[in-house]
Structure 1
């Protein structure tokens, strides 16, 4: 951002924060220049709008000075009338991959505190420089168009199901690090410089230093951000096109499987058909992350009319139709397999089971069906479910009494919510899904029958 617009920066950021809508926010705050600038502007906005704003200060405990620096940052936040939370990363640290582990700890911390504070947005101080570094690193790694789109100004918290309903907002993504420090200096403000930001032990720091050297030689680092913007626009156009294909080629069923329109998928553009199929995979697997290789394997199976398993989903053929269902091996549903523990996450009275279903009562026991189907359940009802899918179905009991299977019995449906719609939207749209897709997907899921 040019220096002559610095005076307008708070107003620009305030408008972006206004666009987030209502609801409490967290802000990741380290005391560094970027997060300090965002904290100052966000604190004024929150006070004016009466929005609850909680600074979250992560002490990674990687340097002796970190605890003191966290307290200094907290003192700055309190001076602004805020109530910060300091969270220390205690325990042993991995010998390798320390930055990835630290990031995972931060994300889990944000998700936990957001639930406690009933917040739905986490503000982060990523800048234009961070965007350029991200694109540069992905270029070196041979990333495709989606990877080169870089970071979005708003995206889901990349955890599932802990991050369900939580968004990351990056209002400074087009503002340079130097401009923010110039703005802080004009305000008479100071910030903490973390010496680890100069350590060549970390890949990102080595890339940061390389970009600085290239910039001194005349390379315009901002061009990397312009490249990201072009790929971001292409990514959004692809998401819309894939969503159109999805609505025409995928039929969601309330018990968690989908019927695929093989002809519609194979008639579509190969790349977009794979994106649509990846969204269907997300719905049945409980994993909303983009899995291009898994989608390609499933599309190859569909093209060859051959069973395939990838990304937690299984392609199968039943009653002259193509189906995508939960891979029973991923939930211990096969007779020749030691059953893995199906992941269940507690949110108050809700339990998210296998990333696919939310159970709304705390006194329920949920287990995977396996090959020994409950004696209380009608085999006639199971005939509508492909044999490969039956071992991966969740079985609900209350007080030892059988309550049913979601999507196949009305009693079970009273205490169950399918997360298929949220999984699909998260897979296809990094930002908030388009209203037209939300409406049509809702209409499609409402048509599901027993």
Structure 2
């Protein structure tokens, strides 16, 4: 196995790997995906990476120029190259740095690979930490679950360590592949537009996600590692043709032969992103004119004001509203959105509808106001809380509890009808501003099964030493 470093997991490549490495199931660093030679692609210099960071760094008080920087490092060529470049850049900026590897607990080799990454980075003086997913993997939608778990772990770590920027290694070919995959699914402008170079934090004190390599071909990242004499790990799942992305990569040369090169596809995605941003501006204007969104996790829509926008903008905002209030990762399919929009604008809601984990019901008898809130049967289960540890619940709220030394078993779950009745007996004034349909699905903190706090209502049980800090994180998506 001359292509492997002694002690490295299977698939880890050294600079100058032999030509027969592909026969052993490894990536040959002398070829680009699709068979095009890499000899014309130079490595990325530190000065060039400095320019990339200058272009894409966030300009925000939530991403201070002296804040910490973290890099997501799987051990693959893309993330290893980014890690080396970013570490050198962070030193010139006098910024704290950490490389983060996530073990999802899915593949048996993951722990070994994480240890190998740590060994490589320690040899270069690069700080590294492995984060482990505790929750069991689902039987379906595994990739989406892994992505969400990975980002949640890394973002929570960043928030706890005053890290304001999380760097991700998506590159030019990733842009092109994503465009083609989403085109095959019938995606609209949002799905087809390019990945953003920077994404705002998902919660207070969370990191910006920054992608400085989106214009860089993968071959330059491989060359950067070869130039630095740095090995990397080849993920065996990248060869598994049950994944559509891998099947697409095998077609890359055929696509390039008819003009669908990664560069051209990525340029198209960028053009579509400009269109998306213009539509987003229009949707935000409509939001301000026609919606009243409450931190208690519901929205009231003024139909007459909503009607004034174009259909595309109406659908865009409605989809985002439903995904945010319903705790969903994506908007509903367009045909379902169109059906719901027709019902809202045409007084066809009747007694109400459900979609994407939300209830949509007319308020009063006039029909010009529509209430959109969480659907009870879709709310997340009760989960445990740890004092001082931030916890996301129902993909809508982020909570942190502080308490004295004597604290019982803490949980968070929906308030429910019984909890609503209990508060009505104690503090009925707290319920006047929140519709019951929305209020019963607010997060309620219980100690030893006794209701102690409902921060969305401003309720705290008399004599409790528990303080709950809460953020309606779904609002950031609107």
Give the TM-score band, short-chain normalised.
Answer: 0.7 to 0.9
For the structure 1 residues 386 and 32, does the alpha-carbon distance in structure 2 shift closer, same or farther, using more than 3 Å as the test?
Answer: closer
Superposed displacement of residue 329, structure 1: 2.5
More moved, 120-129 vs 254-263: 254-263
Q: Give the alignment partner of residue 329 of structure 1, picking from 376, 385, 388.
A: 376
SS in 2 for 1:373: helix
For the structure 1 residues 255 and 133, does the alpha-carbon distance in structure 2 shift closer, same or farther, using more than 3 Å as the test?
Answer: closer
For the structure 1 residues 37 and 126, does the alpha-carbon distance in structure 2 shift closer, same or farther, using more than 3 Å as the test?
Answer: same
Structure-1 separation of matches of 2:338 and 2:284: 17
Structure-2 separation of matches of 1:94 and 1:313: 23
Paired positions, count:
415
Matched, 1:230 2:271: yes
Matched, 1:266 2:307: yes
1:86 corresponds in structure 2 to: 130
Superposed displacement of residue 170, structure 1: 1.3
> How high is the TM-score relative to the length of structure 2?
0.72
Structure-1 separation of matches of 2:298 and 2:41: 55
Structure-1 separation of matches of 2:124 and 2:215: 25
Q: Give the alignment partner of residue 373 of structure 1, picking from 404, 414, 421.
A: 421
SS in 2 for 1:182: helix
More moved, 317-326 vs 224-233: 317-326
Checking the alignment, whether the CA contact within 8 Å between 1:275 and 1:292 is kept in structure 2 is: no
Q: Give the alignment partner of residue 474 of structure 2, picking from 417, 423, 433.
A: 423
2:407 corresponds in structure 1 to: none
> How high is the TM-score relative to the length of structure 1?
0.76
SS in 1 for 2:360: strand
Superposed displacement of residue 128, structure 1: 0.3
Structure having the larger proportion of residues in helix: 1
Q: Give the alignment partner of residue 54 of structure 2, picking from 6, 10, 15.
A: 15
For the structure 1 residues 377 and 280, does the alpha-carbon distance in structure 2 shift closer, same or farther, using more than 3 Å as the test?
Answer: farther
What are the equivalent positions in structure 2 for 1:11-410 lying under 5 Å apart? 11-16=50-55, 19=58, 21-22=63-64, 23-58=67-102, 69-87=113-131, 99-100=143-144, 102-155=146-199, 165-215=206-256, 219-253=260-294, 255-282=296-323, 284-287=325-328, 289-291=330-332, 293=334, 295-305=337-347, 306=349, 307-319=352-364, 320=366, 322-330=369-377, 341-342=381-382, 348=388, 352-362=392-402, 367-370=414-417, 373-374=421-422, 375-377=424-426, 382=431, 384-394=433-443, 406=455, 408-409=457-458
1:347-398 superposed Cα distances (whole Å, 9 cap, x missing partner):
8255555444555544576551316611524557645544533533455667
Checking the alignment, whether the CA contact within 8 Å between 2:43 and 2:220 is kept in structure 1 is: no
SS in 1 for 2:75: coil
Structure-2 separation of matches of 1:326 and 1:123: 34
Structure 1, unmatched stretches of 5+, are: 333-339, 429-450
1:433 corresponds in structure 2 to: none
Superposed displacement of residue 288, structure 1: 6.5
1:202-244 superposed Cα distances (whole Å, 9 cap, x missing partner):
3211111101333256542311101110111111111110000
For the structure 1 residues 381 and 295, does the alpha-carbon distance in structure 2 shift closer, same or farther, using more than 3 Å as the test?
Answer: farther
Checking the alignment, whether the CA contact within 8 Å between 2:44 and 2:224 is kept in structure 1 is: yes
Superposed displacement of residue 178, structure 1: 1.4
More moved, 305-314 vs 183-192: 183-192
Superposed displacement of residue 251, structure 1: 1.6
Structure-1 separation of matches of 2:292 and 2:411: 29
Checking the alignment, whether the CA contact within 8 Å between 2:121 and 2:127 is kept in structure 1 is: yes
SS in 2 for 1:42: helix
More moved, 139-148 vs 346-355: 346-355
SS in 2 for 1:260: strand
Structure-2 separation of matches of 1:96 and 1:257: 30
Structure-2 separation of matches of 1:154 and 1:361: 30
SS in 2 for 1:376: helix
Checking the alignment, whether the CA contact within 8 Å between 1:262 and 1:302 is kept in structure 2 is: yes
Superposed displacement of residue 26, structure 1: 2.3
